[in-house]
Structure 1
Amino acid sequence: MTRSDPEFTLFIPTYNRAKLLPRALASIEAQTCRDFEVVIVDDGSTDDTAAVVAAWRTRVDFPVVYVRQPNRGKYAAHNVGVERARGRFFVLLDSDDRLLPDTLERIRRHWHSIPEGERWRFAGVEGLVESMDGKRLLTEPYPQSPLDISYLDLFYRLGVGGDKKHAIRTEILRRFPYPIFPGETNIRDSITWNRIAHHYIFRCVNEPFQQVEYQPDGLTSNRFRVRMGSPRGFQQFHLEEITLHRPWLSRRQLRRSTIAFIRFSLHLRVGFWQQARLTGYDPLWLMLLPAGLLRWLVDCYRLRFQDAAPPNRVPIRN
């Protein structure tokens, strides 16, 4: 990045959110820190999203990049946004959320509070989310603030989960893109944060950075369909949990993740011998096979009798 590049890239992935998008765009215009660009990736919208963005671009005084792509999902859009970003820090703003007016200013202040000689260890700054009326937090706060910690330690050892919002160094995100599987559009956000956590930590603060409103047709509200529609991505996530991240998992977490790995492997028609090889012939995997098989059967029942939307399945053979 050159000296003329902005401090922040504000990234908006969007799909058929033309009516809600102006709220997010207005919150960008209201930022007290003006050292940013905006990258919008339109994931195949069929509404007036393009027109909304075009009209907005004509009246703002900062760079706006608009990319339109066929519908490939939020995470493919995220990878495209990172590729196009020029900012030092990458800030995700969902198209139905909004930033608080001083969010970027506070993120920059927290980053500069880290001693310069130690910043190489940090992926970025992370904060909380609150309701649109600003009256309540929608996520679990950190046990102290500031807290310098990796995602693996935060989630698996301290048990602090929930939606968080962060500014991440763009150069790090380029090294850790989301894995994309043909025919699938979703994966767990934390697959990338877990990978980053082996190398970097975050400065976490108990301050809201964004106001969010979860939509009825969003990813959060359609978890079963999301998971059944992207079994390979979820299988990969749980495989990494029980292999790469195993030292961080409690016994209970390890059991749950192993069962989930078996469950999604069966949806992919991955045979038992292949599962055994992938897990390193783990005795726990063998012991939990009946539980994983039962969980898969429950899914099959729900898909046949309770859920009309069939999943996208990508068969993997032994």
Structure 2
Amino acid sequence: MKNEPLVSIIMPSFNSSQFIDQAIQSIQKQTYDNWELLIVDDCSKDQTVPIVKKISVNDSRISLIVLEKNQGAAVARNTGLKNASGKYIAFLDSDDRWLPEKLQKQIDFMEKKNIAFSFTSYEFIRENADDPKKIVHVKDKMTYKDVLKDTRIGTLTVMVNRELTGEFSMPLVRRGQDLLTWITILKRGFIAYGIDEPLSEYRVVYGSLSNDKLTAMKRTWNNYRKHLDLNLFQASYYFTFYAFNALKKHYFEKEN
């Protein structure tokens, strides 16, 4: 329908040939079809680019941007943002997937309530198919201070109404730029509204940077102190809650 708002989906890629076709297919299977997919490749050395080119030949909604040199996920995402045309911005990494009704349910939710920022629950994709399923459930809403205490917002679930928030970009840090972006948006007074339904699938790759919990904690502390300019007392206060909630989310919440 002509009055359906356009969703710009940002997907950074780097040596993603093993899973990127699944990620793209999960977008193509969406019940909501007014979207554009901007894949920004960060100088892959494998077959990622040929795979994307082959798929995009038959789908004009998919655009490929190849960076001239490897610069990291933040630059890739910002490049996608600069080239995005949609009212709504969504993010999907090249090894994750969406369930078919993800976009439709989130758009309906945001349009009905004129929401600037939303996120949803998500499920882990395990390397071992016999592992029990695990869902990260979300709260109805989160403020700036809530997110400092609990980093439960999954990037693959986020949708931002850019007409309400204005233009935004991600800070140029190696890891954690997504969380810093959400915190920066919410610090301006916006509220993140949650849909407690798993509409995305996050792939757990053991041994990856994102799966290193100690590294994640060190990075979060550094972000609180250096990038958010929290003083020692503020950083310690919020980090205590963050550490507790991170451990709870990964190790103590009930498997499904």
Using the size of structure 1 for normalisation, the TM-score is 0.63
1:168 maps to a residue whose letter is V
2:238 maps to a residue whose letter is Q
Q: 2:181 aligned to 189, 192, 216, which one? A: 192
Structure with bigger RCO (C-alpha 8 Å, 6+ apart): 2
1:73 maps to a residue whose letter is G
Kept after mapping to 1: 8 A contact 2:87/2:163: yes
- Give the structure 1 partner of residue 230 of structure 2: 242
Q: Distance in 1 between matches of 2:239 and 2:22?
A: 41
Q: Distance in 2 between matches of 1:111 and 1:128?
A: 16
Deviation at 1:31, TM superposition (A): 0.7
Cα 1:234–1:39 shift into 2, 3 Å: farther
Deviations 1:67-90 (A, max 9, x none): 111211111111111111111111
Kept after mapping to 2: 8 A contact 1:72/1:185: no
- Give the structure 1 partner of residue 199 of structure 2: 209
Q: Distance in 2 between matches of 1:27 and 1:256?
A: 34
Kept after mapping to 2: 8 A contact 1:6/1:86: no
Cα 1:92–1:131 shift into 2, 3 Å: same
Deviation at 1:166, TM superposition (A): 1.2
Deviations 1:100-121 (A, max 9, x none): 001111011111231xxxx3xx
Secondary structure in 1 matching 2:79: helix
Secondary structure in 2 matching 1:212: strand
1:84 maps to a residue whose letter is N
Kept after mapping to 1: 8 A contact 2:96/2:203: yes
- Give the structure 2 partner of residue 36 of structure 1: 35
1:153 maps to a residue whose letter is D
1:177 maps to a residue whose letter is S
Deviations 1:176-228 (A, max 9, x none): 32222xxx633443211111112211221101121111223533124666898
Kept after mapping to 1: 8 A contact 2:138/2:194: no
2:91 maps to a residue whose letter is L
- Give the structure 2 partner of residue 93 of structure 1: 92
- Give the structure 1 partner of residue 170 of structure 2: 178
2:230 maps to a residue whose letter is I
Cα 1:129–1:136 shift into 2, 3 Å: same
Deviation at 1:236, TM superposition (A): 4.9
Q: 1:169 aligned to 151, 161, 164, which one? A: 161
- Give the structure 2 partner of residue 56 of structure 1: 55
Q: 1:139 aligned to 136, 140, 146, which one? A: 136
Kept after mapping to 1: 8 A contact 2:36/2:62: yes
RMSD, aligned CA: 3.3
Using the size of structure 2 for normalisation, the TM-score is 0.77
Deviations 1:214-251 (A, max 9, x none): 223533124666898xx8x97454232525x94xx6x6
Q: Distance in 2 between matches of 1:44 and 1:64?
A: 18
Identity %: 21
Q: Distance in 2 between matches of 1:107 and 1:206?
A: 11
Q: Distance in 2 between matches of 1:226 and 1:141?
A: 20
- Give the structure 1 partner of residue 7 of structure 2: 8
Q: Distance in 2 between matches of 1:154 and 1:95?
A: 25
1:209 maps to a residue whose letter is L
- Give the structure 2 partner of residue 124 of structure 1: 117
Kept after mapping to 2: 8 A contact 1:37/1:64: yes
- Give the structure 1 partner of residue 142 of structure 2: 149
2:61 maps to a residue whose letter is P
* Alignment partner of 1:221 is 2:247: no
Secondary structure in 2 matching 1:126: strand
Q: Which has the larger radius of gyration?
A: 1
Secondary structure in 1 matching 2:158: strand
1:238 maps to a residue whose letter is R
Structure 1: gaps (5+ residues)? 258-318
Kept after mapping to 2: 8 A contact 1:131/1:213: yes
Cα 1:234–1:113 shift into 2, 3 Å: same
